[in-house]
Amino acid sequence: MSRSNSLVMTAGFAEFPKDTSLHEVYRMIGCVMIVDKETETIHDISFTFVMELSNQFLANLLRGVSLRNGLDEVRKRLKESIKVPGVGAIQYAIQQAYDRYCELK
C-alpha cells in the first residue's frame, strides 16, 4: 500500500462548556485527524482552536502517537501538558475523530 493510500482523515466535534468565554465566542471545537492505517499512528492533527499557538502545541504534542491501543497515550499526554478551560471538549473531539477512524479499520 502506498503512503497516500494508507492515510485516512477523520473528524470529531465537541461543544465547549456553557458559561465559559470559549463557549461564548466559539461554541464548538473541531478536531481533524489524519491517521496512517499501516502504523496506526497520528500522521497529523489539527483543531479549530482559539489561537494558532494552541493548535500548533496540540498538534506537536499528538503527532506520531500510536493509536494501536486506543487513546490512552493521547489522554496521558493531554493530562500532563494541557491545563486550559475546555480540555474536556478537546478530549471529546479527539474521541469522536478516533471513533470514526475505528469505523474505517
pLDDT of 1-57, one tens digit each? 456 689 999 999 999 888 877 777 778 899 999 999 999 999 999 998 768 999 999
Q: How long, in residues, is the chain?
A: 105
* pTM, two decimal places: 0.89
**For position 42, which CATH number holds?**
3.30.390.50
Task: Output the nine-digit C-alpha cell for 68.
Answer: 494501536
* Residue 43 grid coordinates: 500522521
- Specify the 3-state DSSP secondary structure of 12: strand
Residue range of the domain that includes 75: 4-104
Question: For the segment 86-103, what is each residue's pLDDT rounded down to a tens digit?
Answer: 899 999 999 999 999 999
In angstroms, the CA 62 to CA 98 distance is: 13
d(CA 68, CA 81): 22
Write the pLDDT tens digit of every residue in 63-89: 999 999 999 999 999 999 999 888 999
Structurally, the chain folds into a number of domains equal to 1
